[in-house]
Chains A and B, each alone.
Chain A
Amino acid sequence: DTGVSQDPRHKITKRGQNVTFRCDPISEHNRLYWYRQTLGQGPEFLTYFQNEAQLEKSRLLSDRFSAERPKGSFSTLEIQRTEQGDSAMYLCASSLVVTGQVKMTEAFFGQGTRLTVV
């Protein structure tokens, strides 16, 4: 399987605990994105990486959220001191952006990690 994979698929945690999700993008893709999706809504952009550099963070991403992509391959998203409002599907996507070509490219999404904070 050469698609985007996310782990775990489901996570139930108690309020106040820390959680970490992992995303493995398509290997040749240089861009990696994290989105959050709640029921009945579209994905909301959280942050993205160009190789290992984090280029932008949404204002949705509070200080409790941190994302890394240490070697420009897989990425982790950590949520500290989880709150019930963090319950959502966390989606990772990747794409290949060619330098100098500023255009939309097809983003491939993983199956997501569904987080439930109880």
Chain B
Amino acid sequence: GQSLEQPSEVTAVEGAIVQINCTYQTSGFYGLSWYQQHDGGAPTFLSYNALDGLEETGRFSSFLSRSDSYGYLLLQELQMKDSASYFCAVGLEAGKSTFGDGTTLTVKP
């Protein structure tokens, strides 16, 4: 089977940097994605790593180490609107994913 582990909660202050880790055990790994979901909203795609290394998209960066079955999402210059749940998801084949249980990020003033 597949399993992903990520912290359940993270708290940080506005303007800070926060890192959300994700470790996984899967077969047929194609890549690691990150999604953001606000309360009552739809998951929104943030980033995707197929190869080892860092991908940067604005204030968000995502890292993957396939040998360690590990990745993280880095959020910089935190804003109040970044308070949300963040899910890592392993792509098992094109488009189909297994999601972690999510990390609730609370940004405080």
A residues adjacent to B (C-beta < 8 A): 4, 31, 33, 35, 40-45, 48, 56, 91, 93, 95, 97, 101-112
Contact = CB atoms under 8 A, between A and B. Distances in A.
Contact of A45 (B31, B45, B98, B100): B98
A104 B31 contact: yes
Nearest to B4: A42
B101 A41 contact: yes
Contacts, number: 70
A97 B99 contact: no
What does DSSP make chain B's interface, helix, strand, loop or mixed? strand
Q: Most A CB atoms within 10 A — which of B41, B50, B87, B99?
A: B99
DSSP majority for the A interface? loop
A103 B99 contact: no
B94 A91 contact: no
Given A40-B101, A104-B30, A104-B33, A48 B95 contact: yes
A6 B89 CA distance: 22
Given A109-B44, A111-B42, A48 B96 contact: yes
B93 interface: yes
Contact of A42 (B30, B41, B89, B94): B89
Contacts of A33: 95-96
B102 interface: yes
Contacts of B42: 4, 91, 109-112
A27 B47 CA distance: 22
A41 B44 CA distance: 16
15 contacts: A35-B99, A40-B102, A41-B101, A41-B102, A42-B4, A42-B99, A42-B102, A95-B95, A103-B91, A104-B30, A104-B95, A105-B95, A107-B95, A109-B44, A110-B42
A103 B94 CA distance: 5
